[in-house]
């Protein structure tokens, strides 16, 4: 019933829709695990484990240097999967209704939004925009259909199909955002 009446709009890696007591507890458990565990074994050409007695936290910091968020996620995926299975076991609280995830254009992805299932927001995502994406004007900017318009007059304006779809998506999100504010 709530899926038909509630529209949740989430911008990029916004922390707040993912934040709950269970997720905060899971994050604490993961941080403690990273602080206590050893780095995964890595052997040199002589067969010696170069990571012996190296804390996992030190390994993470050393390997994250000069890498972007996506490279870090790929590198640490095995560690994340292990911690997720063993430490992140709390019951989850999800955003309500139909969830529209507005893709963060700052990541070089072509804006717009996609409908996502609630479990897609079951964990806190650590990222450079996790706090700034919750600021209200960021949601307004994401929903504003006038942002991508060129500096030509409307009469001279010619748009391609991709731009037209982007404007249509943003117009939908602006109306959905206004509808939620009016209720």
pLDDT of residue 106: 55
Tell which phi-psi region holds residue 6, choosing left (phi > 0), alpha (psi between -120 and 50) or beta: beta
Average pLDDT estimate for 80-102: 82
pLDDT of residue 33: 81
pLDDT of residue 64: 77
pLDDT of residue 161: 60
Nearest to 168 by CA among 97, 125, 119, 112: 112
Q: How many CB atoms lie within 10 A of CB 81?
A: 10
**Cβ-count burial 27-46 (b if 16+ within 10 Å, e if not):** bebbeebbeeeebeeeeeee
Nearest to 171 by CA among 131, 134, 143: 143
| DSSP H or E run through 9 | strand 7-11
> Cα(159)–Cα(149) distance, rounded to whole angstroms?
9
pLDDT tens, position by position, 17-64:
888 888 888 888 888 887 788 777 888 888 888 888 888 778 777 877
> Cα(11)–Cα(33) distance, rounded to whole angstroms?
29
pLDDT tens, position by position, 97-109:
888 888 765 554 4
Residue pair 11/133 in contact by the 8 Å Cβ criterion: yes
pLDDT tens, position by position, 121-151:
888 887 778 888 888 877 777 776 544 433 4
pLDDT of residue 2: 53
27-41, 146-160, 164-178: range with lowest mean pLDDT: 146-160
């Amino acid at each position: 019933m709530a899926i038909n009446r509630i529209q949740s709009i989430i911008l990029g890696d916004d922390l707040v829709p993912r934040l709950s007591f269970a997720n905060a507890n899971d994050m604490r458990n993961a941080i403690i695990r990273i602080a206590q565990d050893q780095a995964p074994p890595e052997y040199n050409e002589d067969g010696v484990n170069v990571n012996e007695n190296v804390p996992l936290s030190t390994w993470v910091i050393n390997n994250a240097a000069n890498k972007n968020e996506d490279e870090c996620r790929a590198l640490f995926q095995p560690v994340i999967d292990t911690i997720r299975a063993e430490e992140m076991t709390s019951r989850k609280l999800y955003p309500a209704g139909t969830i529209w995830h507005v893709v963060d254009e700052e990541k070089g992805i072509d804006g717009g939004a996609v409908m996502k299932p609630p479990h897609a927001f079951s964990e806190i995502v650590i990222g450079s925009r996790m706090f700034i994406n919750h600021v209200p004007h960021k949601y307004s900017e994401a929903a504003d259909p006038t942002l991508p318009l060129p500096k030509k007059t409307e009469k001279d304006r010619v748009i391609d199909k991709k731009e037209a779809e982007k404007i249509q998506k943003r117009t939908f999100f602006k109306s959905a955002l206004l509808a939620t504010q009016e209720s």
